[in-house]
């Protein structure tokens, strides 16, 4: 599940990068003296948080290789917070009644000179899709952090495995590795220990 989560984080980062390069809003202004001019604003212009968040998602994908347990839970929680921000950035463009004033401010144009404004939804849609991918990745990483204890047991130190062999009198079915550890300790892994009466 960790690998799938990492792949989804990379996909989300690529979607954000693509969305940041697309045109989100275009504004047309006229000063009354010459021809009207149109200025386009890309996703990176409209929200300068898109590229840093894409880099953050890539860093979280790499962090999935290095951290486990509570560290992985913290990474998943951070990703979940990022998805809320991404969802807001994408949906706000769609639901904002008039993008003209903000577009004029970003384009450094006086609002009085605005003639028209229009928005393109593809970039915002890619941002929302990136948020969905990142949210699924956060869920997968959180589930992996909860179920990773058993997987780490086979990589336990030899001393820990030997201690487990000594106290494994209730475990009749040892793994192959457990059998070798039992032989190292001088214990016959095929011998069933008699139950003590009175317990």
What's the rounded mean pLDDT across residues 40-67? Answer: 89
Tell me the pLDDT band of 1, cut-offs 50, 70 and 90: confident
| Helix orientation angle between 176-184 and 158-166, rounded to the nearest 10 degrees | 80
Phi-psi region of 35 (alpha: psi -120 to 50; beta: other; left: phi over 0): beta
Q: What is the CA radius of gyration of the chain?
A: 28
Quick: pLDDT tens for 129-167.
Answer: 999 999 999 998 888 876 654 444 444 455 555 555 455
Tell me the pLDDT band of 21, cut-offs 50, 70 and 90: very high
Contact 86, 16 (CB under 8 A): yes
What's the rounded mean pLDDT across residues 88-117? Answer: 86
Q: What is the pLDDT of residue 66?
A: 78
- Under DSSP, is residue 103 helix (H, G, I), strand (E, B) or coil? helix
Contact 49, 79 (CB under 8 A): no
What's the rounded mean pLDDT across residues 61-81? Answer: 85
What's the rounded mean pLDDT across residues 56-83? Answer: 87
Q: What is the pLDDT of residue 83?
A: 93
Catalogue all structural domains in the chain, each as residue range(s) with its CATH number. 2-153 (1.20.140), 156-199 (no CATH)
Judged on CB neighbours under 10 Å (0-12, 13-18, 19+), 48 is exposed
Q: Which of 4-18, 61-75, 140-154 has the lowest mean pLDDT?
A: 140-154
* Average pLDDT value for the chain: 80
pTM of the model as a whole: 0.68
Q: What is the pLDDT of residue 172?
A: 46
**Closest to 19 measured CA to CA, from 103, 81, 87:** 87
């Amino acid at each position: 599940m960790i690998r799938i989560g990492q792949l989804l984080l990379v996909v989300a980062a690529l979607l954000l990068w693509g969305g940041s390069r697309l045109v989100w809003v275009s504004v047309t202004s006229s000063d009354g003296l010459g021809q009207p001019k149109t200025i386009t604003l890309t996703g990176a212009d409209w929200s300068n948080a898109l590229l840093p968040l894409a880099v953050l998602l890539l860093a979280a994908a790499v962090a999935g290789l290095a951290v486990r347990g509570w560290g992985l839970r913290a990474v998943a929680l951070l990703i979940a917070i990022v998805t809320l921000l991404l969802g807001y950035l994408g949906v706000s463009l769609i639901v904002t009644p008039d993008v003209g004033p903000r577009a004029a401010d970003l384009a450094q144009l006086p609002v009085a000179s605005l003639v028209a404004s229009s928005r393109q939804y593809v970039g915002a849609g890619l941002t929302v899709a990136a948020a969905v991918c990142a949210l699924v990745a956060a869920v997968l990483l959180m589930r992996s952090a909860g179920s990773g204890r058993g997987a780490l047991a086979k990589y336990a130190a030899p001393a820990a495995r030997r201690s487990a062999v000594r106290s494994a009198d209730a475990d009749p079915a040892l793994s192959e590795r457990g059998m070798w550890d039992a032989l190292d300790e001088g214990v016959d892994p095929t011998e069933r220990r008699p139950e003590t009466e009175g317990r």
